[in-house]
């Protein structure tokens, strides 16, 4: 049987989401995590798509063999700007299952709840695997060279999770290592699979919710336990 652990699904997603906007990556990871809680196994199949590849997909079923899979020409898809990703759902054996059922609708609901647009809501050509986050930008604006503004993370959320990078991640990694947790990459400032595993192990040891996300409660326990060892 395939490994359907959340850690494995996130690792696979990390490879597929290269060249996708950081905020869109975070929402993809959140979709995977929230769906996992509903026993829905989300696998990312595609993120950034070049304009040349988009042209080929548009030609399929029109000027080349195959069925029509998209109405978007090259430059007319949010994939071409790193603002979209596609998913597949896996069955309990880890095999891709394209049967459109309640799981797809639930995944779509979860995606919309975290701010994503879902292709399953489209009327002309439903695209159940497709999710996008446009920052309010139209495709014509993107084609003209306009892009998303840099957005600072919301301090009020206090959530540090898989895919995050920076000094705040380094601080968590230093505390985890000091408390005896092993991190493959050391203090690299990247919240990857090794940090994710260590956070879950810490949460389990402290009887916290085991989700691999450093929220206010986990952060407080980390600080408290770290400070105890310093004095």
pLDDT tens track for 95-125: 999 999 999 999 999 999 999 999 999 998 8
- Can you give the C-alpha Rg of the chain in angstroms? 20
Instruction: Report the CATH architecture of 6-143.
Output: 2-Layer Sandwich (3.30)
pLDDT tens track for 10-48: 888 988 998 999 889 989 999 998 999 899 999 999 999
Band of the pLDDT at 5, cuts 50, 70, 90? confident
pLDDT tens track for 132-160: 999 999 999 999 999 997 654 444 456 89
pLDDT tens track for 179-231: 999 998 899 999 999 999 999 999 999 999 999 999 989 999 999 998 887 65
Residue among 14, 33, 27 nearest 210 (CA): 33
Say whether 159 sits in a helix, a strand or coil.
coil
- What is the model's pLDDT at position 3? 75
Cβ partners under 8 Å of residue 95, min gap 6: 2
With a cut of 60, say whether residue 129 has pLDDT above it: yes
* CATH superfamily, domain at 167-230: PGBD-like superfamily/PGBD (1.10.101.10)
- C-alpha 218/C-alpha 199 separation (Å) is 8
- What is the model's pLDDT at position 90? 98
Domain residues of the chain, as ranges? Answer: 6-143, 167-230
With a cut of 70, say whether residue 176 has pLDDT above it: yes
- What is the model's pLDDT at position 20? 94
Beta strand 84-90 with 117-118: parallel, antiparallel or unpaired? unpaired
pLDDT tens track for 153-162: 444 456 899 9
- C-alpha 206/C-alpha 203 separation (Å) is 5
Count H helices, E strands: the chain?
Answer: 8, 4
Band of the pLDDT at 49, cuts 50, 70, 90? very high
- Cβ-based neighbour number of residue 19 at 10 Å: 11
């Amino acid at each position: 049987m395939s490994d359907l652990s959340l850690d494995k699904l996130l690792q696979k997603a990390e490879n597929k989401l290269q060249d996708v906007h950081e905020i869109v990556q975070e929402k993809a990871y959140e979709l995977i995590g929230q769906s996992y809680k509903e026993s829905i196994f989300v696998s990312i199949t595609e993120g950034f798509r070049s304009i040349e590849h988009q042209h080929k997909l548009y030609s399929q079923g029109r000027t080349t063999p195959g069925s029509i899979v998209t109405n978007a020409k090259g430059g007319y898809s949010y994939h071409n700007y790193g603002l979209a990703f596609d998913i597949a759902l896996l069955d309990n054996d880890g095999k891709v299952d394209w049967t459109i059922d309640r799981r797809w609708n639930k995944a779509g609901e979860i995606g919309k709840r975290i701010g994503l647009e879902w292709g399953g809501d489209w009327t002309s050509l439903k695209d159940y695997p497709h999710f996008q986050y446009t920052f309010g930008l139209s495709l014509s604006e993107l084609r003209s060279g306009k892009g998303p503004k840099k957005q600072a993370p919301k301090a009020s959320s206090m959530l540090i999770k898989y895919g995050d990078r920076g000094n705040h991640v380094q601080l968590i990694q230093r505390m985890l290592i000091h408390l005896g947790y092993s991190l493959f990459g050391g203090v690299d400032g990247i919240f990857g699979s090794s940090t994710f595993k260590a956070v879950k192990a810490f949460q389990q040891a402290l009887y916290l919710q085991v989700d691999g996300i450093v929220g206010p409660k986990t952060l407080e326990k980390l600080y408290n336990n770290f400070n105890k060892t310093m004095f």
